[in-house]
């Protein structure tokens, strides 16, 4: 992207970001980091009361209470026209209803909706989308080799756990339906390993493919480090250009 397009992207100097899953453990950290970076944030949440009070009072934050599975593409387009990027931190609630109840394709349907809207927006440069995927997803573009025992367990997890299949389906929409170099929509599917909570950003590494078994030797990824990397991706043109169309894996350094 040339300098002129980069200037257009920033518009009035505050890059606008639409965030889904902003009330989640990672999503709220993403919102905080984006606001601290000076981004305008529009969060679509099902319960606005879950956004921390100190974020609510931030003039850069707009919170819209809507159930994402009920949102139509026509409603999303005007919101996305006000933004440059979107971040999807949606994930199924870890309860029987959250895991096995509707909507089974929460993340994949939301990613599809974001893609449909992004492809209909008339804007000077490509819209950018970051989604939280997982190391359980193999990036077939990079011919990632998975040992047979891992593959067998992933196969069973995909059959038995709808959220696992949902995350994979969402990343596959980006990889196969949008592809690595679409003129209207660029994306990054970030793959954290086992998510943990830490109070502060610590040292982390970002790899093009997993360097350890997600099943038998998983690494750790602090949610706050994930949020830090997402905010950097949104705001750092060079970093974005390294990772667009890819599925980076983030590990805390031990």
Chain residues in the site for ligand NAP (CB under 6 A): 21, 23-27, 46-47, 50, 67-69, 89-93, 103, 106-107, 132, 134, 163, 167, 192, 194-195, 223
Whether 198 contacts 128, CB under 8 Å = no
- Residues 206 and 250: their CA atoms lie apart, in Å, by 5
Among 222, 107, 87, 219, residue whose Cα is nearest residue 161: 107
Q: How far is the CB of 5 from ligand NAP (least distance, A)?
A: 31
Q: How far is the CB of 163 from ligand NAP (least distance, A)?
A: 6
List strand residue ranges (DSSP E) for 75-182, in order: 85-88, 127-132
Q: How far is the CB of 128 from ligand NAP (least distance, A)?
A: 18
Whether 22 contacts 112, CB under 8 Å = no
Q: Which one, 58 or 69, has the nearer CB to ligand NAP?
A: 69
Q: How far is the CB of 97 from ligand NAP (least distance, A)?
A: 9
Peptide bond connecting 103 to the previous residue in cis, omega within 30 degrees of 0? yes
Question: What b/e string do you get for 132-155 counting C-beta neighbours within 10 Å, with b at 16 or more?
Answer: bbbbbbbbeeeeeeeeeebeebbe
- Residues 60 and 40: their CA atoms lie apart, in Å, by 5
Q: How far is the CB of 149 from ligand NAP (least distance, A)?
A: 20
Q: Which one, 223 or 246, has the nearer CB to ligand NAP?
A: 223
Residues 6+ apart with CB under 8 A from 14: 38, 39, 40, 60
Q: How far is the CB of 238 from ligand NAP (least distance, A)?
A: 25
- Residues 181 and 136: their CA atoms lie apart, in Å, by 24
Q: Which one, 86 or 90, has the nearer CB to ligand NAP?
A: 90
Q: Which one, 134 or 252, has the nearer CB to ligand NAP?
A: 134
Q: How far is the CB of 98 from ligand NAP (least distance, A)?
A: 6
Q: Which one, 25 or 239, has the nearer CB to ligand NAP?
A: 25
Q: Is the CA virtual torsion 113, 119, 120, 122 positive or negative?
A: positive
Q: Which one, 9 or 191, has the nearer CB to ligand NAP?
A: 191
Q: Which one, 22 or 126, has the nearer CB to ligand NAP?
A: 22
- Residues 150 and 147: their CA atoms lie apart, in Å, by 5
Q: Which position's Cβ is nearest ligand NAP?
A: 24
């Amino acid at each position: 992207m040339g300098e002129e397009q980069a200037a257009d992207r920033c518009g009035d100097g505050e890059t606008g970001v639409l965030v889904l899953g902003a009330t989640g453990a990672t999503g709220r950290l993403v919102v905080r980091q984006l606001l601290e970076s000076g981004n305008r944030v529009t969060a679509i949440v099902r319960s606005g009361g879950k956004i921390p009070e100190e974020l609510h009072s931030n003039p850069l934050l707009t919170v819209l209470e809507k159930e994402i599975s009920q949102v139509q593409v026509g409603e999303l387009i005007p919101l996305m026209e006000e933004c440059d990027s979107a971040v999807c931190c949606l994930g199924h609630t870890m309860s029987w209803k959250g895991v096995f109840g509707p909507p089974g394709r929460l993340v994949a349907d939301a990613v599809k909706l974001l893609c449909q809207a992004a492809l209909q927006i008339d804007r000077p440069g490509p819209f950018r989308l970051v989604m939280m995927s997982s190391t359980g997803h193999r990036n077939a573009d990079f011919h990632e080799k998975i040992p047979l025992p891992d593959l067998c367990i992933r196969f069973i997890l995909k059959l038995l756990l709808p959220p696992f299949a949902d995350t994979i389906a969402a990343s596959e929409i980006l990889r196969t339906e949008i592809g690595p170099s679409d003129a209207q929509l660029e994306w990054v599917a970030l793959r954290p390993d086992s998510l943990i909570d830490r109070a502060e950003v610590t040292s982390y590494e970002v790899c093009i493919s997993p360097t350890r078994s997600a099943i038998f030797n998983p690494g750790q990824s602090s949610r706050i480090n994930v949020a830090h990397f997402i905010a950097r991706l949104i705001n750092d043109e060079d970093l974005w250009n390294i990772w667009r169309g890819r599925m980076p894996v983030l590990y805390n350094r031990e």
